[in-house]
Amino acid sequence: MRFFCLHGTGSNSRLLQQQIAAVRYELGGRHTYDFVEGCFPCEAHPALKGSLSADEQAFSYSEPSDAASWRHAVEGLDDYVANEGPFDGVIGFSAGASLAILWLLWRQQQQDVPVKMGVFFSNAIGPDQLKSLGLGETAELQLSAEDLKIPTAHIWGSCDDCEGRANAECGLGICNPDRRSMYVHGKGHEIPTSADDTIGMVKAIDRAILRAGVV
């Protein structure tokens, strides 16, 4: 399978490559990964500052509180997929997972979802935030009454804060219950690297791959 991968706010593609390195290794060599860099330079996430070199920039895909910026991010991602695809799946962490979900819902409303599955680590945006941004009532990006139909894998930490856990569960809740899998690890808002967690995450992703019918 060929995946495109979206990092979190205050991160970059290199860091996401490191964050999911163990997962990629355990999934095996039959998959390829394209890492999409955000277009807005921003401050590094506090948890990641020590991981960036002195001259390395952190990015985001949108201005977090600006609905128009989110819409532009969805449109920009759609252009990327059209120009660089085809892809079989999308992987997103935190705000990258949020952007992936918004894009997938938008494409589903057009009855044309160009990927077969999604993997979401710690989705970072919930229904109240969508409404406050105006996205829940915006025709281009409104949340469909129907579940997201493609197979999905949802991974988050039981020690994330209350908002983080609620947002991750929101991402789970808008996906088809018969075609979703999940893994909850014992860490916070992160992608863990222990052997046990890696195996658990990969099992959830493999279930989504199996349901997508793509090897």
Told to judge if 189 belongs to the known catalytic residues of this protein, a careful annotator would answer yes
Structure tokens at 162: 């209350």
Angle at 70 between CA 65 and CA 72, to 5 degrees: 135
Pairwise CA distance, residues 186 & 158, whole Å: 5
Catalytic residue among 181, 185, 189, 197: 189
Burial class, 78, CB count within 10 angstroms (exposed 0-12 / middle 13-18 / buried 19+): middle
Per annotation, catalytic residue among 94, 98, 122, 181: 94
Q: Per the structure block, which two tokens stand in for 40?
A: 């807005």
Catalytic, out of 11, 160, 181, 197: 160
Non-local CB neighbours of 170 within 8 Å, separated by 6+ positions: 123, 125, 126, 127
Token pair listed for 127: 């229904």
- Give the length of the chain: 215
Rounded alpha-carbon distances, angstroms, from residue 65 to 61, 68, 129:
12, 9, 9
Q: Under a CB-based contact definition with an 8 Å cutoff, are residues 10 and 48 in contact?
A: yes
Radius of gyration (Cα) for the chain, nearest Å? 16
Catalytically active residues, by annotation: 94, 160, 189
